[in-house]
Amino acid sequence: MTLEPTPAMKRPEDDLVVRAHTDRAAFGQLYDAYYPAIFRYCFRRLFVRAVAEDVTSEVFLVVASKMPRFAGTTDEDFRRWVFRIATNEVNAYLRQTKRRRALLESAARSGDLAASVCPAVGDGGVERLDWPALYRAILSLKPCEQAILHLRFFEQMSHEQIAGVLQKRPASVRVGLSRALEKLRCQFRIDERHVTVHTR
């Protein structure tokens, strides 16, 4: 349950959201604050930068046009709302098989291997995962599972926050996350008994 903030508890970020309903400059500041996060979310979900920029554009144009009708009054309200719009736009984009295929092909072709391949089994321990391979694995999941994974691991959202974005119950988010991780483990064929992790 979320407590309604008292005037004493109101944060500057919340005040910005309230002002941004009608104030142009405030909306601009809100845009500046959220553009990086939304773009990165779209980019991680869509792999191709140009596509991510397109969809990010869609998101903010929707946000701008609906700002007068947005009912939220806190930064958290706005965060959930903008990520909800972003999730819907990304899912809508991925709904077309042709687009998903194109993204998979991009990931397969990608030479941008910042990390080595799959966690090694044996004495070497777990190294880093290959992003294109990871992306392809995530893309094979259901859209909802993809969204949960991204929001959890890349946006560091809690189950409750993810539930607010996706308009689900927190319990459903936990179950969805668990299923998504299990599918990923199967994809990478990780043998838990043989893996060691170098802690920092």
**Binding site residues, other proteins, CB under 8 A:** 22, 24, 27-28, 31-32, 35-36, 39-40, 43-44, 47-51, 53-54, 56-58, 60-69, 71, 84, 88, 92, 98-99, 102-103, 105-106, 112, 114-115, 119, 126, 128-131, 134-135, 149, 152-154, 167, 177, 181, 184-185, 190, 192, 195-197
How many C-beta neighbours within 10 Å does residue 63 have? 21
Residue 192 beta carbon to other proteins: minimum distance, rounded to whole angstroms: 5
> By C-beta, is 8 or 42 nearer to other proteins?
42
Residue 100 beta carbon to other proteins: minimum distance, rounded to whole angstroms: 12
Residue 6 beta carbon to other proteins: minimum distance, rounded to whole angstroms: 20
Residue 42: exposure state from Cβ atoms within 10 A (0-12, 13-18, ≥19): buried
- Any residues with CB less than 8 A from the CB of 126 and at least 6 apart, and which? 119, 120, 195, 196, 197, 198
Q: Which helix (H) or strand (E) covers residue 173, if one does? A: helix 170-188
Residue 18 beta carbon to other proteins: minimum distance, rounded to whole angstroms: 14
Residue 41 beta carbon to other proteins: minimum distance, rounded to whole angstroms: 9
> By C-beta, is 61 or 171 nearer to other proteins?
61
Phi, psi of 124 (to 5 degrees): -65, -20
- Any residues with CB less than 8 A from the CB of 53 and at least 6 apart, and which? 39, 42
How many C-beta neighbours within 10 Å does residue 130 have? 20
Q: Which helix (H) or strand (E) covers residue 84, if one does? A: helix 75-94
